[in-house]
Structure 1
Amino acid sequence: MQLDFFPSRTLTLYLAKLFVMRIIAMLAVLVLVLMALDLLGSTGKILAVEGNGSPELWKYVSLRIPQLISRFLPYSVLLATLITLVTLNQNSEVIAMKASGLSAHQVLAPLLLTALIVAGLSFAFNESFVTKANAALKAWEGADYGLIPEEEGTRTNVYLTDGANIMTAATLSGSGNDITMTGVTWYSRAPNGMLSEQITAETATFADPGWRLDDAERFNVAAADSSVAGTLVVGQGLTLAQIELDSVDADGLGFFELSRSIDAYEAAGRRTSELRAKWWHKLAGPLSAFLMPLLGAVAAFGLARSGQLFVRAVIGMALGFAYFVVDNAALAMGSFGGYPPSLAAWGPFLLFLFIGESVLIRTEE
């Protein structure tokens, strides 16, 4: 019986139903509260643009909600785990299950299976909706919530390098020879590495070679003097291939699209640590929902009348939130090259998997 993790179909469906309802409730509460708080800070910026009104606010909500669902679904699973297990413990249902011969693993098995299904749905939701919402919202924010180019593949906050020189753009749209950048700034450096001049322009188009800036303005750093430069061609070392590589946004690409972009980076001899870490995290992130029942399991066992149930719930919550802190820190270290990308994405997951399993085995003993 100990090796049969689902000895009772009725009990499995009962626990899974309880768990799913609480996950949905917790997720709805978190998304509604966080969306309301987000709107308090963003409404002024959106409505400050002439012509924006209620439709733009609803557009912002429609783009933000998928992001909030994706980010806080694991938190919802953690909170749902604690509420479910504490309720079962208080009602002596855990004692009844243990008395019938079920082990701690068998009690948790329906919750773990449900969490695994939730993780799979989360991955599919991220691929279908969240990546598109990320790309659209970043493009809109890059245009200061105003009109953005209609072309597909619009990117924002573009940063390009041509040797020691740097070009930045608020948005980049189009492909091939039809690429257009807006809100462009060109930083030219002297041979000693110091900034020599800054050139700004509303738009930049491909000049083959280089990029043509129309109605440009030049600022000479040494003379602290501004002048009208008219039409200029800069960045002759910036090729279309480099533009395509440097404009990759890991948050706006799906798992397989990002994989192809990483392959292109590696073929060009470019550094891929940050992209590779985020690529791995597209799997490890949703799978973190599977850990939550294991980390919150400490709240299920132990007598409720002992007065330590609240302490156990706090310990379970602390373990869950510790995972998210370590996960974010490891991902940041992986992006900067401090950790190998696979370790940055999977290290926290495996560490807390062992911690949760150790706590569960200790509880069962």
Structure 2
Amino acid sequence: MRVLSLYFTRLFLARFALVLFGMVTILLSFELLERGDNVLNAADGELAALLRFALWRLPDFVSHLLPIATLLGAIMTLGELARHHELEVIWSTGTSPARLIVGLLPVSLLLVGLQFAVDNWAVPPAMEKVRAMGMDSFESSRLGDDTGNVWLRSGSDFLRIPTEAARSGELSGLVIFRRDESGALIEHLSAAEAEPTEDGWLLRDVRQYDAQTQQSNRRATLFWAGRLDLDQLVQLSVEPRELDLAEMRTLAANNAFGQRRVEVYETWLHQRLASALVPLLMVALVVSLGQYLRARRTVAWIFMAAVAISFGYLVFARATLAMGELGVLPPWLAAWGPALALASLVGSVLLFRDSGRQPPQGAVPSTH
């Protein structure tokens, strides 16, 4: 079984790498054709900027295409074995699809680790570089309202910061509405700028208005014990998938500072882990469908079935993810539900024994 697993792994990795390289190259070429002029204009015609842009866009493409490349690589491997009748030999020895999936666990777990590493440690810093070049795929207009201000929440207090200051990661021209536990306004603070300290923020050039006495005064400095990280202002303006787990946990723990539903980041926390398992599930899906080749099914049939199931899974996953972000489904169910459903489908296919699994009488499988 070990020799068979190594043989299957070698065939699969070669085809997986070829498919992934081909798809990434094609998409990256289209990206450069579409946005190359913008990149050159932003870099004053520096050709090296195109190379940097392609390098920073690479992790995002790999993240999206890795599950598809896994699926197609597994199908191509299965087709290669079937074309040379090697798959018939494998089934005739009594090797079940479940045993073959277990034998492929090392390479499957390798792809799981690769998917998580790219999603969590490669995509976020790469997209930050893309945004620094002014080539972000998503506009940051969702940070701020029509008046040009950003409203944030820290505990019971509300903050209003100019949008441009928030996007640049600075606290200047901010207004703080301090409230008590019942939500009643305690005081109104207007500060020209703020400086972070160990326990909060030191406000400078402050106008303080007491809501109870209705009196105001000016102070050169004033300490405010609020929780707010300058980097988190920028994090609020990007897509959750462009954040790492630590950043999403921080935003979820602080209720996204009132900018988004906390369920958005809680759902993506689970999604980051659940999505890493997709390559393993794709390998298991193709191998489990491979048993139908014993009933004289064609590789084309396996291909169409695998693609249809995978497409259904992706649509289902996007739907549940949206419902999790809206709070319709619990975050864990929204993220893990599709993966569990696909795993259950693979399990049911493995348990089903097709009547035509044995080679036809008198047929001698070729070992070419």
Decide: shared fold, TM above 0.5: yes
Alpha-carbon distance in structure 1 between the residues aligned to 2:316 and 2:12: 26
Q: Give the equivalent residue in structure 1 for 2:59.
A: 66
Whether 2:4 is the aligned partner of 1:11: answer: yes
With 166-175 and 65-74 compared, the bigger mean Cα shift is at: 166-175
- Contact 1:157–1:169 (8 Å) recurs in 2: no
Q: CA separation in 2, counterparts of 1:293 and 1:49?
A: 42
Deviations 1:301-340 (A, max 9, x none): 2347946331222111211222122212221222222222
Distance 1:140 1:305, change over 3 A: same
Matched, 1:241 2:236: no
Counterparts of 1:1-365 in structure 2 under 5 Å?
8-49=1-42, 51-141=44-134, 158-159=143-144, 160-161=150-151, 168-169=163-164, 172-174=167-169, 206=193, 208=203, 241=228, 246-248=233-235, 249=238, 250-265=240-255, 271-297=261-287, 299-303=289-293, 306=296, 308-363=298-353
What is the alpha-carbon distance in structure 2 between the residues aligned to residue 166 and residue 287 of structure 1?
40
Give the paired residue count: 299
From the superposition, tell whether residues 15 and 142 of structure 1 become closer, same or farther in structure 2 (CA, over 3 Å).
closer
- Contact 1:296/1:319, CA 8 A, preserved across alignment: no
Paired residue secondary structure (2:143) = strand
TM-score by length of 2: 0.70
SS in 1 for 2:13: helix
The structural deviation recorded for 1:134 is 1.8
1:206-259 residue CA offsets vs partner (Å, 9 max, x unmatched) = 364799xxxxxxxxxxxxxxxxxxxxxxxxx9x772866554343343223422
Counterpart AA for 2:46: G
CA distance in 2, matches of 1:101, 1:50: 62
Aligned-pair identity in percent equals 26
Q: Distance in 2 between matches of 1:282 and 1:76?
A: 19
Give the superposition deviation at 1:82: 0.8
Question: Structure 1 length normalisation: TM-score?
Answer: 0.70
Q: 1:287 & 1:96 partners in 2: Cα distance?
A: 30
The 8 Å contact of residues 57 and 126 in structure 2, kept in 1 or not, is answered as: yes
Inter-CA distance 180–284: structure 2 relative to 1 (3 Å threshold): farther
Using the TM superposition, give the Cα deviation of residue 292 of structure 1 relative to its aligned residue in structure 2, in angstroms.
0.1
Q: Distance in 2 between matches of 1:245 and 1:323?
A: 33
Query: Which has the higher mean CA deviation after the structures are superposed, 91-100 or 121-130?
Result: 121-130
Residue 215 of structure 1: aligned partner = none
Structure 1 residues 323 and 128: alpha-carbon distance in aligned structure 2, compared to 1, 3 A threshold: same
Unmatched segments (≥5 aa) in structure 1: 1-7, 145-154, 182-203, 212-236
The 1-side partners of 2:259 and 2:26 are apart by 45
What secondary structure, in the 3-state scheme, does the structure 2 residue paired with 1:300 have? Answer: helix
Give the C-alpha shift of residue 166 in structure 1.
Answer: 8.6
Q: Give the distance between the partners of 1:143 and 1:356, measured in 2 at CA.
A: 38
Aligned CA RMSD, in angstroms, stands at 3.7
